[in-house]
Amino acid sequence: MLHQQTVAAVAPANIERVAQERSFKSHDGTEIFYRYWPALSENRKGAILLFHRGHEHGGRMAHLVDELQMPDHAFYAWDARGNGRSAGERGYAPSFAALVRDIDCFVREIGSEGFARRDIALIAQSFGAVLAAAWVHDYAPDIRALVLASPAFSVKLYMPFAKQGIALWQKMKGRFFVNSYVKAKFLTHDPERIASFDADPLITRPIASNILVELYNHAARIVADARAITVPTQLLISGSDWVVRHGPQHEFFVNLASPAKERHVLPGFFHDTLGERDRHKALDLIGPFLEKQFAAPEKPVDLIDADRVGYTRDEADRLASPLPLLSPRGLYWAMSRASIRMGAWLSSGMKTGIATGFDSGSTLDYVYENDARGISPIGRMIDRTFLDAIGWRGIRQRKLHLEELIGSAVETLKAAGRPVHIVDIAAGHGRYVLDAVQKCAEPPASVRLQDFSELNVSLGRKLIAERKLPATVSFHQGDAFDATMLAGLDLGPDLAIVSGLYELFSGNAMIARSLGGLASA
């Protein structure tokens, strides 16, 4: 960690906070640079994380530390990977999701300073605001508050069909870079900010095509599903924004499920909301909002009845409603079902799905293997198309995440002196658990795999035998919703795994019963 004190933001009340320069290694080992301003009070109230615009870096958010006049709060500002002083190819990240995961790693880094998630609030602008909203949506952190300034949910690309052209060219030629030609005078009315932007050597003009394309896709997803966000949220909209569209910002606010949400339109403001000449108008809104949320008692969101009432139940009912056969969607899905049935004549994967169910352990194991099989080269080609469907690619990515999480959990338990008894209550064939366990530096004391399906148990035991695993690894038939059976497990589990099961059932009572049994084991 780096702890040089070099960056200062001038405080209005003759109080000067000096930033410490630090770094941390993110999930893939990339070195992320950030600035840290300790609270001026010994009785610190929390931490505020600052996320900069695209092309910029955390140093361009430094003025907020003192201008917000919140001396009892620590401040952190990162340089996103590929920007500023952080490592990585300029303007590039492997994916939008990698950037979102960087935020989660950043928050974990701050947690080592003693700040729990309930002690944290986020202030994010433009592209950084989309990243912050995606993290709050996807990771569901229990943080104090979220402030979004001019989130770039829809960037104005003034060339006709630019978005489609970028996506098409990337498919044809692979990743490339797009330069931003937005002039500073269209970002802010503040002459000092304009001059500093033009002279800043750390501004990164290019942005990778994959990030631009994924920005649009993820932004649309977050706006449409903002009902999943329950964190207190304040949205600031620049009234004269040349860079992003207002429509998706308003739609996002309307969709927010937070019981504490605010929307403020700032007339005449350009895109750099927090760096505008009259930014005191924005800061006069942010400060009281954050102070109020940090002072508010915790009120956990109750979703126990969400299976019976709420927007997700409404969505489930809509999806379960039959479509008119001759409607465009009805015809599309009828043709899709017919093509799958025909494809099953030649494709081994489709045949397995038809025979056992596309949510079965057998189908998932086939997807994990990712080995196209079928009758004739045409059958194998169909099977490869089936295996490369976006849903199955997501399932294989989930397997990688599970292996990483299992390995991390085993290391944590071992470090705490625990023997590590693992149970997976609905393991399918158990491939992902066995793969994860075999990668562990030190094997767990026991691994108990379970599944309701006799076929899955039989094939899982075969997999254990093929790998010549010790007797401490076993497979049993059992009901994942039998609380009594789970509570009576011979070896109380240190690590319990439930993957891809609960989302298949619509009743929260069943899930509560299963979790209750595991908790009692």
Q: Which of 488, 486, 484, 463 is nearest to 473 (CA)?
A: 463
pLDDT at 430: 92
What pLDDT does residue 14 have?
54
- Asked if residues 129 and 148 have their Cβ atoms less than 8 Å apart, the reply is yes
Residue 72 corresponds to which tokens in the numbers above? 């009892």
SS3 388: coil
Which residue is it, tokens 């009594």? Answer: 484
- CA gap 340, 53 in Å, rounded: 45
Overall pTM > 0.85: yes
Domains of the chain: 4-295 (3.40.50.1820), 317-392 (no CATH), 408-520 (3.40.50.150)
Distance, CA of 29 to CA of 50 (rounded, Å): 22
* Cα gap 121→108, rounded to integer Å: 14
Residue 349's φ and ψ, nearest 5 degrees, are -65, -45
Contact residues for 302 (Cβ-Cβ < 8 A; gap 6+) = none
Q: Can you read off the two tokens belonging to residue 166?
A: 């970028």
Strands 421-424 and 206-208: unpaired
The residue count of the chain comes to 521
What b/e sequence results for 343-361 when a residue is b if at least 16 CB atoms lie within 10 Å of its CB, and e otherwise? bbebbbbbbbbbebeeebb
Round to the nearest angstrom and report the end-to-end CA distance of the chain: 41
Cβ-proximal residues to 152 (8 Å cutoff; 6+ apart), any chain: 54, 126, 127, 129, 130, 215, 219, 243, 244
Q: Considering only CA atoms, which of 223, 280, 275 is closest in space to residue 246?
A: 223
pLDDT tens for each residue of 162-199 = 888 988 988 888 889 998 888 999 999 999 999 999 99
Rounded to whole angstroms, the Cα distance separating 142 from 121 reads 10
Q: Can you name the residues that pair with 495 across neighbouring β-strands?
A: 422
Q: Which amino acid is at 112?
A: S
Q: SS in 3 state form for 62-128?
A: CHHHHHCCCCCEEEEEECCCCCCCCCCCCCCCCCHHHHHHHHHHHHHHHHCCCCCHHHEEEEEECHH
The structure tokens listed for 115 are 């700040």
Element (H, E) at 21: strand 17-25
* Beta-carbon contacts of residue 386 (< 8 Å; ≥ 6 apart): 343, 347, 349, 350, 392
Instruction: Give the angle subtended at the CA of 195 by the CAs of 62 and 162, to the nearest 5°.
Output: 90
Q: Which pair of tokens denotes residue 478?
A: 């059992």
* Confidence (pLDDT) at 2: 40
8 A C-beta contact, residue 275 and residue 150: no
Distance CA 127, CA 155 (A): 9
CB 287 within 8 A of CB 295: no
C-alpha to C-alpha distance for 302 and 85, rounded to whole angstroms: 42
Mean pLDDT per 10-residue segment, the chain (521 residues) = 40 70 95 96 92 96 95 96 96 96 97 92 98 97 97 87 86 88 92 95 94 95 96 97 96 95 97 96 97 91 88 90 89 91 94 92 91 94 95 93 92 92 93 91 91 92 92 93 92 90 91 93 85
Give residue 296's pLDDT. 92
Structure tokens at 149: 């300034």
